[in-house]
Structure 1
Amino acid sequence: MTAHADERVKTMSGLRRAMIRPELGAICGAILVFSFFFLIARDSGMFAAQGIMNWTVVSAQFAIIAVGACLLMIAGEFDLSVGSMIGFAGIVIAILSVQWGLPVWFAILCAFLVALAIGALNGWLVIRTGLPSFIVTLAFLYILRGLTIWLAILTTRQTIIGGVAERAQGDWLASLFGGKILTGLFTWLAEHGVIAVFGRGTRAGQPVVDGIPMVVVWALILIVFAHVLLTRTRFGNWIFAAGGDAQAARYVGVPVDRVKILMFMFTAFCATVFATCQVMEFGSAAADRGLLKEFEAIICVVIGGALLTGGYGSVIGAALGALIFGVVQQGLFFAQAESSLFRVFLGSILIMAVIMNTWIRRTITGER
């Protein structure tokens, strides 16, 4: 007896499945961006060891906040307070460690706890009031930015608090955010002529790249964790379900409210990782740090293929979006182009990404 395909099940060719992958646009964009800057900036040092490290670090910074924004957007929500959270968490660390004299590790843990509590509050307000997350987190964008400036001026009469680097010397937790790894490997590579060394100055003979900054390590950890969570666990299915059709998800037992609150908390966690890495890198905290980062994170996610309506997206796509950002920002510098063109690029690629994502959504749903 010949088995017939169930006519209720829509079959899809391999090419069609590849075409609707959320990462497709980001992959194409990354190839185009790398090709473009290789042609116009390859002689400027952009693809030498130091140049590669420059745009890798910038891309990692974008990726850290994009990962949190990605999972939250797939769950059907937005968080516009990410940028303000970065500045707020940094000031908390600086005040507790420099002004109050507490250990840096304790200040970092306090910053994470406060950020997670604010993230939970954001999620709780969205769930309990039924207000759009855009409105709730927009309010917290202003609340946190105002609190950050007020706390800095109240304690130091200035908006930049220095002295964190001195306090962080020898601190076990600070080194996880501000140090470097594989320094011995890079020294060995320099000794064998694989990477260049400084020819003059106080660093003469030392490798131009002496290790991988912890911000890159954190970006890789968060990308791997979020990708596995989203694609290999039941909780990942819950995230997709909560953003795709929250009411239908509730009918089949998905704890939608809990999922969304946890995603707000994860977004706040990622913002605090970013803030801590910046504080340890610069040795100071500034009240204006993180400005507009919430929009850059959302653009990374959209470039990576996530739908603004939720229920569809990819962590790998968001990471590729962050890579595109980093390469373009540094590529314009190496090409000696006007830096303001970066904003032009952001707006242009956002429009193109939304158009492509809309086409993908209509392809999936069969809409016209």
Structure 2
Amino acid sequence: MSGGAAVSAERPASAAPPLRRARAGRLRGLILRRSEFGAAIAAIVIFVGFSLAAPAFATRQGIANVLDPTATLGIMAVAVALLMIGGEFDLSAGVLTGSSALVTALVVTQLNANVWFGILASLGFAILVGLINGVLVHRTRLPSFIITLAMMFMLWGLNYAVTTALTDQVTVGGIADYLGYDSAHAVFASSAGGFQVSLLWWIGATVLGAIVLGRTRFGNWVAAVGGNARGALAVGVPVGRVRIVLFVGTAVAAWLVGQLTVIRYASATVTTGIGAEFNFIIAAVIGGCLLIGGAGSVVGASIGALIFGMVQQGMPLAGLPSELFKFFLGAILLVAVFVNLAVARRARGAGR
């Protein structure tokens, strides 16, 4: 009897290590399957850290200050993530946000037009830019880095040349005086409780991107093209169409961010968006997107944008010199690249 009791008493102790190993295995499996999981943990750690270092960071106003610039970054990060999963880059996306805002402002002020007409005109312009990028990348087989870099400089030059030629200034203002501005302001620039409506646009873009990537045939095509374009073409995936749609999607996101900016401030300037394209890519990479394409998450990209925003706004509150922001951003990017590659290798190994 005593021997049997001793055996039964030992069983829970011997079962504990396998249970812990099983839980650890499930955690590793979750990280391998969901690229945004690690970014979410990092975001929680960063939020708690800054909240402890600077209690004002976790207040309603502090959170609003973080989410305000993060929302526009997040919208672009979603579109850029989809493009990166498809194996491409768009270096013209940052300047295009400024170009879209300028087109709206110039059409309205130069033609004495309704603000909504300017908004639609800039949408058409953005779609045209996206089509040009997509068609050129697909037809020429040149790296999208080169094509969109050229487009970036062309847009940059047009922003300055056209704006100064028409207005003799580098800023176009006064659109608040034109018909349609009030309704446009309600859609693109209203706020409630200290939070901008851009937050809702960001959430909507993230939900839409997640559905497209995870629930539709097009989302499967995107991952297939980014992973192996030739193989995808061999099994009937319309590679050219996928690429063009992705570039147009990035352009439309840039248009949306441009409208959120120009309507909110009732003005546009030629310097808007310059250099922002790297922030979009950084947010996507922090969220789990691979630089080689074929893997990533739009939810992770949104979390990456949130991490970007928290670090940017939290450092001054925590008493850290703002000049170090770029250093920390580069360090986070470097760590994210190594983590993403390690996760991808483990995932490939688990799939064999």
Q: TM-score, normalised by structure 2?
A: 0.89
Aligned residue in 1 for 2:201:
218
Of residues 96, 114, 136, the one that matches 1:85 is: 96
Aligned residue in 2 for 1:235:
218
CA-CA distance at 1:15 after TM superposition: 3.4
Which amino acid in 1 is paired with 2:29? Answer: R
Aligned residue in 1 for 2:245:
262
Which amino acid in 1 is paired with 2:279? Answer: E
CA-CA distance at 1:335 after TM superposition: 2.4
118-127 or 324-333: bigger deviation: 324-333
Name whichever structure is richer in helix by fraction. Answer: 2
Of residues 315, 324, 339, the one that matches 1:356 is: 339
CA-CA distance at 1:250 after TM superposition: 1.2
State yes or no: 1:309 paired with 2:321.
no
Which amino acid in 2 is paired with 1:324? Answer: I
Kept after mapping to 1: 8 A contact 2:113/2:179: no
Distance, in Å, in 2 between the alignment partners of 1:217 and 1:362 is 36
Of residues 26, 30, 39, the one that matches 1:18 is: 30
Distance, in Å, in 2 between the alignment partners of 1:323 and 1:355 is 20
Which amino acid in 1 is paired with 2:168? Answer: R
Aligned residue in 2 for 1:167:
178
Distance, in Å, in 1 between the alignment partners of 2:129 and 2:180 is 29
CA-CA distance at 1:19 after TM superposition: 2.5
CA-CA distance at 1:248 after TM superposition: 1.1
Secondary structure of the residue aligned to 1:285 is strand
Secondary structure of the residue aligned to 1:161 is strand
Aligned residue in 1 for 2:81:
70
CA-CA distance at 1:14 after TM superposition: 3.1
Kept after mapping to 1: 8 A contact 2:92/2:151: yes
CA-CA distance at 1:151 after TM superposition: 1.0
Secondary structure of the residue aligned to 1:363 is helix
State yes or no: 1:283 paired with 2:294.
no
Distance, in Å, in 2 between the alignment partners of 1:356 and 1:16 is 13
Aligned pair count reads 326
Q: Which has the larger radius of gyration?
A: 2
Q: TM-score, normalised by structure 1?
A: 0.85
CA-CA distance at 1:119 after TM superposition: 0.5
1:199-242 Cα offsets, whole Å, 9 max, x none, are: xxxxxxxxxx3xx3221111111011000111111111111111
Secondary structure of the residue aligned to 1:313 is coil
Kept after mapping to 2: 8 A contact 1:66/1:301: yes
Which amino acid in 1 is paired with 2:340? Answer: N
| Uncovered stretches (5+) of structure 1, i.e. residues with no partner | 1-12, 187-208
Of residues 118, 121, 131, the one that matches 1:120 is: 131
Aligned residue in 2 for 1:145:
156
Kept after mapping to 2: 8 A contact 1:84/1:145: yes
1:27-84 Cα offsets, whole Å, 9 max, x none, are: 1220221121011111xx2222211111011211210110110000001100000111
Secondary structure of the residue aligned to 2:344 is helix
Distance, in Å, in 2 between the alignment partners of 1:298 and 1:139 is 18
Of residues 171, 187, 192, the one that matches 1:176 is: 187
Percent sequence identity is: 42
Distance, in Å, in 1 between the alignment partners of 2:75 and 2:248 is 14
CA-CA distance at 1:173 after TM superposition: 3.6
Q: 1:281 to 1:168 in 2, by over 3 A?
A: farther
Distance, in Å, in 2 between the alignment partners of 1:94 and 1:230 is 34
Kept after mapping to 2: 8 A contact 1:105/1:171: no
Aligned residue in 2 for 1:54:
65
Runs of 4+ in 1 over 6 A off after TM superposition: none
